[in-house]
Every structure is written in C-alpha cells, then in structure tokens.
Amino acid sequence: MTARLPHDRRSDARDNRDRILGAARAVFGADGLDVPIREIARHAEVGPATVYRHFPTKQILVTEAFLDQVRAWRSVLDEGLADPDPWHGFCLVVEKLCELQIRDHRFIAAVKSDFPRAMDFTAARTSSLTSAAELIRRAKETGRLRPEIAVNDLTLMITAGGGIRESAPAARIAASRRFAALMIQACQT
C-alpha cells in the first residue's frame, strides 16, 4: 500500500494543477487578471498555498494558462494541415478557430491588455501565420477556395467571430458555428 502513495500524490498534484488552470481561465476570463490568487484557489477548491506551490507568481499562472490556449490554436492548424483534403482542412480550421475564439475571447483579451509583455508571442504568431498561409495555398489548389483569399482574411474572420455576444455559452457556440459556415460559404468559389 505504501508503494502506491507517491503515485497517488503525483496524481492528486496533477489534478490540483489542472483544476487551478481551469479555474484561472474561468476567473480571468470573467473578471480580468486583477482577481486575487485566493479567488482562483476558491474556484479550484484548493488553498492559496497549493496555487503558489504550482505557480509561484501570478504572472507564471497567467502564462501557463495562456500557453494551453496557444497549444490549442496550434493543434487546430496542425489538424487542418494534416487533413488529406485541403478544402476540408481549411473548413475545419475556420470552424474550430471560430469556436476557440468564442470560448477564449475574454481570457485572450484580458491577457493582451493586462500582461502585454508577459509572453513573447512572436514565434507562435510566425509559426501560426506560416501554417495558415500553407493551408490557404493548398485549399486554393483544389479550386474550391477563392483565389483572392489571403492569411489576413482568415485572421479577420477569426477576429470578427470574437464579436459574438450571446449570453449563454451554448448560444455563443451555435452562433459561432453559424458565423463560420457563412464565412466558409463566402470564401468558396
């Protein structure tokens, strides 16, 4: 039995870390980055000391929470590029990035406004733009994407989708899907 305790503690520590990150995203997204650590701890159902054990500073917590968002966006682009049908890959990226924008828009806006220098976004942005350009190039080769569509158009679509302001989460997701469908239709030849 004692041989299992360290494993269980590591599992509990991972669970606590995941709950803290989830609570941080929710609280920062709803109330901004000025929320005290004790409020995040309360939402995560852990003590403030547990938060500080995993994230010694608030900036580290913000950065870690945001890194998961960057990874999610990157994963969507990779998934689109991996699709053997470039048009389907393009559509998938538009749909999923619009949905991520809706799910994450408050948090992303808070990070950009309150901690503009917390992270260097240059490498992630460059990599994402390169992937988006490749995705668009491939989709154009299918003849289904209008030839004048460029990376800036994809960026504009995703940004505009962030303007959806339905109050209920399910309504925001539904509106995001409708918006993505309209954008895909507008891009199609």
User: Directed axis angle between helix 86-114 and helix 169-187, to 10°?
Assistant: 130
* Full domain range(s) for residue 155: 60-187
Q: Indicate the number of domains in the chain.
A: 2
Claim to verify: residue 104 and residue 34 sit in the same structural domain: no
The CATH number of residue 96's host domain is 1.10.357
How far is the C-alpha of 50 from the C-alpha of 76, rounded, in Å?
Answer: 32
Average pLDDT (15-25) is: 91
* Tens of pLDDT, residues 136-182: 999 999 999 999 999 999 988 888 887 787 778 888 889 999 999 99
Average pLDDT (5-19) is: 75
Claim to verify: residue 136 and residue 163 sit in the same structural domain: yes
Claim to verify: residue 119 and residue 83 sit in the same structural domain: yes
Claim to verify: residue 91 and residue 137 sit in the same structural domain: yes
Claim to verify: residue 9 and residue 71 sit in the same structural domain: no
* Tens of pLDDT, residues 82-134: 999 999 999 999 999 988 888 766 556 655 555 555 556 677 778 888 999 99
* Tens of pLDDT, residues 43-85: 999 999 999 999 999 888 888 887 877 788 889 999 999 999 9
Domain C-terminal end among 56, 72, 98: 56
Claim to verify: residue 119 and residue 88 sit in the same structural domain: yes
Q: Do 137 and 152 form a contact (C-beta atoms < 8 A)?
A: no
Claim to verify: residue 75 and residue 143 sit in the same structural domain: yes
How far is the C-alpha of 97 from the C-alpha of 82, rounded, in Å?
Answer: 16
pLDDT at 119: 58
For the chain, what is the total number of helices (H) and then of strands (E)? 8, 0
Claim to verify: residue 65 and residue 23 sit in the same structural domain: no
Claim to verify: residue 38 and residue 82 sit in the same structural domain: no
Claim to verify: residue 149 and residue 76 sit in the same structural domain: yes
How far is the C-alpha of 185 from the C-alpha of 170, rounded, in Å?
Answer: 23
Average pLDDT (29-33) is: 75
* Tens of pLDDT, residues 33-54: 788 999 999 999 999 999 999 9
pLDDT at 62: 84
Claim to verify: residue 168 and residue 128 sit in the same structural domain: yes
Q: Bridge-partner residues for 188, per DSSP?
A: 145
How far is the C-alpha of 139 from the C-alpha of 12, rounded, in Å?
Answer: 45
pLDDT at residue 1 is higher than 50: no
Q: Do 64 and 55 form a contact (C-beta atoms < 8 A)?
A: yes
